[in-house]
A = this chain, B = another copy of it.
């Protein structure tokens, strides 16, 4: 599709020669160069690139599906489990969703260039902060090929170049999508280095990518906890990471029972495999005998297995014994740990000891307790009287989400376009010097 540049040719030669480090360095150099063009690209140009990619995707629909069929066949042959095959599979509806996703990202406000807090200082200078791209973003992900396009579109819209390393099981699909991205970039005259999909399944590529701070400003791993832990441990580049979500709902005695029931059921059963799903329910002792039996009936309808503390078991004989490990567990499954506690202090102490600082909620009608929970629980999302399942970039109005950060520095909680940018100070003077 797009004509290859001398630089891509050079990168490709390294790859053919089996020199993965040199190949990754070449990608890094190309990304760094593209980043300075993207930094100055205006919103209209970036949006036109996104729309052009969508058009190229629509045109190449058959090719993409063929490539995906190859991946699926290879996956079946190598015994990939059916859940993974499902995530890998593309069809017309999924390609439509990818194109629609591009249009949505094009429609989002551009965070780049926004200037805030501009004020005069006693010296006469004006000082403010301007939002600017981070530079080059490396994204490492697993089987779903639509992440390729999603990540590319969010990085591009926020003015960043990106290097994308997808799962080896999706390599043909990712290559076909990459060709559409390259064609779209070429259509509007943006450099090929703006979005580069790593074209080798060699694991050394990841090791190299996370060790070149001169070319990569931040790494965002998307995938299982072990992948993210490994990358965080070995990276010499800052990592925006998303570890586990051991989320709690605490039901205080003053809670409206109907709301408490609805929230506790929704937080557990709306979806089991998501990081913002409740894993431990904390119930204030005075309301436990009223609420727990009714909750247990609702959970039974959803076939949720219950594991409780002694006081829970006294009320719910059907509950298994919760071991110490249960309070730390991110089940990602229809299993729930339940603990009866004596008031908010014990609830907050439990969350601090066992939680993962992801998302925690209180259900209460007591103003002062709501205020305390809000101030004292040190999690990326703290919620009063709503389901933990709301902790999500779309629900929060970010318009898009590249992930949820469990880090404290830079970005915390759902990360949208703004999390892919930083701020620099801008100063306007008229000849001022320091006295």
Contact = CB atoms under 8 A, between A and B. Distances in A.
A381 B424 CA distance: 6
Interface stretch (A11-19, A22-30, A256-264, A291-299): A256-264
Contacts of A214: none
A410 B409 contact: yes
Interface residues of A, number: 68
24 contacts: A36-B378, A39-B378, A125-B386, A127-B396, A127-B397, A130-B374, A134-B408, A135-B408, A217-B409, A262-B433, A263-B431, A270-B433, A382-B425, A383-B426, A383-B429, A384-B429, A385-B431, A386-B430, A386-B431, A389-B434, A390-B427, A390-B432, A395-B434, A396-B425
Interface string A251-286: 000001011001101110010000000000000000
Chain A contact residues, majority secondary structure:
mixed
B379 A424 contact: yes
A391 B385 CA distance: 45
A203 interface: no
Interface string A394-416: 01110000000001111011100
Contacts of A7: none
Contacts of A256: 431
A220 to B, nearest CB: 12
A422 interface: yes
Contact of A132 (B218, B266, B352, B378): B378
A343 interface: no
